[in-house]
């Protein structure tokens, strides 16, 4: 079966140990988590895991079933890339002298649609949000000048279709 990129959205209680329980489900099936983000969600006191994996339809269904089975998981969804709006964020720490000495640097900043977060005596920090390939492109452009530090976040994503989560929570309460 063909492998694809899937974004899983897991709504859960905010409890110690749940991340371990969820990551164990991937471990047991020898499936690598490509990216993981945990944050609050649109519902008070409900956490949202956004997990990206590269696998087959069959495995993503299996994993979503196993995740949803965990007591503290309210609901888990999975979507393909074209069913979601998604982004990642990255920070680039770059030597300050380059900002003033290399004209091209300023062009890269403009073209890449990134923001300067801070400028210090020795370095400045750029923030870039977008698709993985856009961040990678920017990375490649800066690379010849030297990147002091680089970090990229996990994917965050919202689905195009409604995830009927609030209604589910109401059902559970009865």
Partner 1 sequence: METLKEKQTESTTKKTITISGAEAIIHCLLAEGVDLLYGYPGGAIMPVYDELYKFQDKLTHILTRHEQGATHAAQGYARVSGKVGVAMATSGPGATNLVTGLADAQIDSTPMVCITGQVPRHLLGSDAFQETDIIGISTPVTKWNYQITTAAEIPEIMAKAFYIARSGRPGPVLVDITKNAQFEEFEFSYEKCTGVRSYNPTPKPSPNAIAAAAELINSAKKPFIVWGQGVILGKAEEELKALVEKAGIPAAWTILGASALDTDHPLNVGMVGMHGNYGPNLLTNECDVLIAIGMRFDDRVTGRLESYATQAKVIHFEIDPAEIHKNVYADVAILGDAKESLNLLLPKINKNTHESWHNIFKEKYQIEFDTVIKNDIHPTKAGLTMGEVIEEINIASGHKAVIVTDVGQHQMIGCRYAKFKQSKSNITSGGLGTMGFALPAAIGAKMGAMDREVVAIIGDGGYQMTIQELGVIFQHKVPVKIVVLNNDHLGMVRQWQELFFEKRYASTVMVNPDFVKIAEGYHIEAKRVSERKDLKETIQKMIASKDAYFLEVKVEQEDNVFPMIPSGASVSEVRLQ
Residue 6 or 142 with smaller CB distance to partner 1: 6
Interaction of residue 167 with partner 1, rule CB under 8 A: no
Interaction of residue 42 with partner 1, rule CB under 8 A: no
Count of alpha carbons within 13 angstroms of residue 91, beta-carbon side: 10
Residue 128's Cβ-count burial label (10 Å; 0-12, 13-18, 19+) is buried
Interaction of residue 118 with partner 1, rule CB under 8 A: no
The DSSP symbol for 44 reads T
Interaction of residue 12 with partner 1, rule CB under 8 A: yes
Residue 61 or 96 with smaller CB distance to partner 1: 61
* Contact yes or no for 144/95 (Cβ under 8 A): no
Least separation, in Å, of the C-beta of 35 and partner 1? 22
Which positions from 73 to 102 touch partner 1 by CB under 8 A, shown as an x/- string? xx----------------------------
* Contact yes or no for 38/19 (Cβ under 8 A): yes
Q: Give the list of residues 6+ apart from residue 142 with CB closer than 8 angstroms, or none.
A: 92, 94, 105, 108
Residues of this chain that interact with partner 1 (CB under 8 A) are: 12-13, 16-17, 20-21, 24, 28, 61-62, 65-66, 68-69, 71-74, 169, 171-173
């Amino acid at each position: 079966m063909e492998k694809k990129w899937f974004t899983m959205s897991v709504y859960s209680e905010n409890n110690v140990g749940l991340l371990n329980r969820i990551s164990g489900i991937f471990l047991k099936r020898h499936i690598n988590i490509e990216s993981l983000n945990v944050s609050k969600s649109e519902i008070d006191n409900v956490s949202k895991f956004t997990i990206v994996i590269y696998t087959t339809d069959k495995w993503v269904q299996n994993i979503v079933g196993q995740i949803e089975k965990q007591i503290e998981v309210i609901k888990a969804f999975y979507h393909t890339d074209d069913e979601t709006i998604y982004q990642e964020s990255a920070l680039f720490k770059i030597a300050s002298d380059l900002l003033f000495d290399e004209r091209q640097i300023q062009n890269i900043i403009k073209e890449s649609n990134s923001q300067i977060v801070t400028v210090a005596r020795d370095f400045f920090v750029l923030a870039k949000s977008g698709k993985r390939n856009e961040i990678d492109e920017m990375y490649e452009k800066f690379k010849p000048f030297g990147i002091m530090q680089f970090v990229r976040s996990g994917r965050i994503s919202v689905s195009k279709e409604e995830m009927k989560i609030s209604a589910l929570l109401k059902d559970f309460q009865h």
